[in-house]
Structure 1
Amino acid sequence: MIHAKIKEAIQAYNDELVELRRKFHSEPELSFEEYKTTAFVCGYLEKLGISYRKTEPTGVIATIEGGKQGKTVGLRADMDALTVEELNKDLPYASKEEGKMHACGHDAHMAMLLIAAKALNDCKEELPGNVRLIFQPAEEVAAGAKVMVKQGAMDGVDNVFGIHIWSQLPTGTVSCTPGPSFASADLFTVMFKGRGGHGAMPQACIDAAVVASSFVMNVQSVVSRTVDPLQPAVLTVGKMVVGTRFNVIAENAVIEGTVRCFDPAVRDHIEQQLSQYAEQVAAVYGATAKVEYKRGTQAVINDEDSAKLVQQTAAAAFGAGVIRHEKPTMGGEDFSEYMMEAPGSFALVGSGNPEKDTQWAHHHGKFNVDEDALATGAELYAQYAWAYLNK
């Protein structure tokens, strides 16, 4: 299951792996703006002699063609950064772009996949099949995977595998449990319209602020009282814009929020209930309501065979003690789009280390990666591809 030459290669390329990650970290680019990053990845693959093509507007699809006939396994890394101000100003590789930061580990993902590709390319004549490399833009806005699939990223792919650096797990550990991993993530907007007027004459008005506040307080019962408590679900109102002036009764209110769950039936139910609650609350006050519900990412549900292969591969490569069983997260991940095309799995590689101050939550300005975790991720990418193609 484990290829000794791959392990040796990853170890030999470790300094380059760290250097790549630091380069990506210092030069963050936002979703669908990853032009310099795309150009660099293309140049790196070209030097290795790996065939590739750019996708629009950004992103790269490449293929390592094995020396023997077989299946095709896909490996994915995301590329985009966040609109987060880096607080680790003392790092020699801190972000050079004000207000932009790789605060979720995508810099690590790219570096790990490039080095995995280099190691696999070294032994490509032994590969019984092909390895599809997917460098994906715009994961943070839940749009990049769909674009990559439409442009052929999964054409001919039999199985797909992805990795996410995870600061909540100790450095070097690996979690890939069969079943639910990341929740579906949807966005909703509710617009209430009342009747504005002078703050001193409420009897002549319909106060949109009161309507919106009532909705926010009551809508939580959609989850607490209409969803099976054994079915995980989250409904969060994150933004409310209402009113224009301290002494004017608001005519309009706009609420934005998100819904997270794993079960499609629960998802449908919450969407329907949101509209019902908004309309009924508005009716109580004589206002009107309009609801827009946008479906984002699908739930990431790890295929059982693929997830078990990840566990077996990680145990064989690093020892059985690295295996963890992280609980599903209500966070979203558009890796699910690839898994709608072929079975696969999505693993978490631990990078949390309080001694190196890398235990900060993802999307925080002090987020950082314990670089000792990079070799684990790079080897897991490559060894999984080898193990799958040799099944």
Structure 2
Amino acid sequence: MINQKIKEAIEQYSEELTAIRRKLHSEPELSWEEYETTAFVSDYLTALGIEHRKTEPTGVIAEIKGGKPGETVALRADMDALPVEELNVDLPYASKELGKMHACGHDAHTAMLLIAAKTLNEIKEELRGNVRLIFQPAEETAMGAKAMVEQGAVSGVDNVFGIHIWSQMPSKKVSCSPGPSFASADIFTVTFKGRGGHGAMPQDCIDASIIASSFVMNVQSVVSRTIDPQQPAVVTIGKMDVGTRFNVIAENAVIEGTVRCFDAETRDHIEKQLQVYAENVASIYGGTAKVDYFRGTQAVINGEESAKLVQKVTAAAFGEDAVYDEKPTMGGEDFSFYLDEVPGSFTLVGSGNPEKDTQWAHHHGKFNVDEDALATGAELYAQYAWAYLNK
């Protein structure tokens, strides 16, 4: 099930793994701006003699060709950081870029996949097939994976596997269950138009702020009263922009929000109901509504065969107690675009450790990674590829 050479190599390269992660953490780049990260990955692969090509505008696709015929398995890591201010100012490897931070663990993912690549390259003659390496930009904008697919990331691939460091799980635990893992993540904007005027003369106006407020209060009943309670769904209003001055009745109001769910029919239903609610609420008050709905990531649905293989590999490599059952999250992940093309699974590797202050939520300014979990992720990448190709 596992390869002992992989285990020994990961242990041997553990210090390098940590050093790479720290370098990347201190030099964060936002989505579609990962030029230096792309160059670093390319240079590292070049030094290893691994064939690769850069994608546009950023990103890298590489391939380790095995010494024996077989299938091709893809391993994916994302590379982009977030527009978040680092609050871990005492760390020697804290972000050097004001207002930018690896607050989601993508620095760890890239480092883990590079060391996994180095390890797999050393045993490539023993591989029954090929290993595709995908270093992906722009996961945080939900656009990077789709762009990589369009540029051939999974062309000729038989299976795809990804890892996400997860601070909400105990460090070094591994969770990968068949079925839903991450929710679909959509964005919507509702623009209401009324008729503005003087705040002392409401009878001559149509108040867009009242229309928008009514919509916010009523739209939650889409989930609570029109959807099967056994189908999880979230409608969140995250932003409202209305009004210009204390004594002016607002003519326009703009609301932005997100929709999360696992089921395709539920997703379609919510999109339609947002339109219905917006138009009818606006009509009550004499205004109008326009809804713009952007479909972001699909739901990440782990394939049963792949997920069970992850569980077997985890138990064999790290012990039965390393297998963890984390509930699905309503968070979004554009790894779904790969799973739309080929079978595979997406795995969480725990990095939460209160003793090291690494239990902070993803996207928080104090987010950090228990670096002891890096070796778990790197080895899991490599052992999964080995086990899949030799299944």
Both proteins in one fold, TM over 0.5: yes
Alignment-derived partner of residue 162 in structure 2: 162
Unaligned runs of 5+ in 1: none
How far apart, CA to CA, are the structure 2 residues paired with 1:5 and 1:177? 27
Alignment-derived partner of residue 232 in structure 2: 232
For residue 216 of structure 1, what is the amino acid of its counterpart? V
What SS does the corresponding residue of 2:294 show, helix, strand or coil? strand
What SS does the corresponding residue of 1:218 show, helix, strand or coil? helix
Alignment-derived partner of residue 285 in structure 1: 285
**2:124 paired with 1:124:** yes
Listed as ranges, the matches of 1:135-150 within 5 Å are 135-150=135-150
How far apart, CA to CA, are the structure 2 residues paired with 1:341 and 1:314? 25
How far apart, CA to CA, are the structure 2 residues paired with 1:340 and 1:130? 21
Deviation at 1:77, TM superposition (A): 0.1
Deviation at 1:85, TM superposition (A): 0.2
Deviation at 1:356, TM superposition (A): 0.2
For residue 122 of structure 1, what is the amino acid of its counterpart? E
Alignment-derived partner of residue 249 in structure 1: 249
Alignment-derived partner of residue 20 in structure 2: 20
Alignment-derived partner of residue 3 in structure 2: 3
Deviation at 1:292, TM superposition (A): 0.4
For residue 199 of structure 1, what is the amino acid of its counterpart? G
What SS does the corresponding residue of 2:131 show, helix, strand or coil? strand
How far apart, CA to CA, are the structure 1 residues paired with 2:233 and 2:132? 34
What SS does the corresponding residue of 1:324 show, helix, strand or coil? coil
Deviation at 1:50, TM superposition (A): 0.1
Alignment-derived partner of residue 113 in structure 2: 113
For residue 149 of structure 2, what is the amino acid of its counterpart? V
Deviation at 1:196, TM superposition (A): 0.2
For residue 106 of structure 1, what is the amino acid of its counterpart? H
What SS does the corresponding residue of 2:224 show, helix, strand or coil? helix
Listed as ranges, the matches of 1:166-245 within 5 Å are 166-245=166-245
How far apart, CA to CA, are the structure 2 residues paired with 1:338 and 1:199? 53
Alignment-derived partner of residue 92 in structure 2: 92
Deviation at 1:175, TM superposition (A): 0.1
**2:292 paired with 1:273:** no
Deviation at 1:180, TM superposition (A): 0.1
How far apart, CA to CA, are the structure 1 residues paired with 2:230 and 2:2? 39
Listed as ranges, the matches of 1:357-376 within 5 Å are 357-376=357-376
Post-superposition CA distance 1:245-298 (Å, at most 9, x none): 110000000000000000000000000000000000000000000000000000
Post-superposition CA distance 1:309-350 (Å, at most 9, x none): 000001000000001111100000000000011000000000
What SS does the corresponding residue of 2:280 show, helix, strand or coil? helix
**Would you identify which runs of 4 or more consecutive aligned residues in structure 1 move more than 6 Å?**
none
Deviation at 1:78, TM superposition (A): 0.1
How far apart, CA to CA, are the structure 2 residues paired with 1:92 and 1:100? 16
For residue 78 of structure 1, what is the amino acid of its counterpart? D
How far apart, CA to CA, are the structure 1 residues paired with 2:82 and 2:287? 38
How far apart, CA to CA, are the structure 2 residues paired with 1:336 and 1:191? 30
Post-superposition CA distance 1:83-110 (Å, at most 9, x none): 0000000000000000000000000000
What SS does the corresponding residue of 2:149 show, helix, strand or coil? helix
TM-score of the two chains, using structure 1 as the length reference: 1.00
- Identical amino acids, percent of aligned pairs: 79
For residue 378 of structure 1, what is the amino acid of its counterpart? A
What SS does the corresponding residue of 2:177 show, helix, strand or coil? coil
For residue 214 of structure 1, what is the amino acid of its counterpart? S
How far apart, CA to CA, are the structure 1 residues paired with 2:325 and 2:304? 14
How far apart, CA to CA, are the structure 2 residues paired with 1:200 and 1:341? 59
Deviation at 1:154, TM superposition (A): 0.3
How far apart, CA to CA, are the structure 2 residues paired with 1:208 and 1:172? 51
Alignment-derived partner of residue 344 in structure 1: 344
How far apart, CA to CA, are the structure 1 residues paired with 2:168 and 2:209? 39
Listed as ranges, the matches of 1:300-311 within 5 Å are 300-311=300-311
Post-superposition CA distance 1:98-147 (Å, at most 9, x none): 00000000000000000000000000000000000000000000000000
Post-superposition CA distance 1:193-221 (Å, at most 9, x none): 00000000000000000000000000000
Deviation at 1:49, TM superposition (A): 0.3
For residue 250 of structure 1, what is the amino acid of its counterpart? A
Unaligned runs of 5+ in 2: none
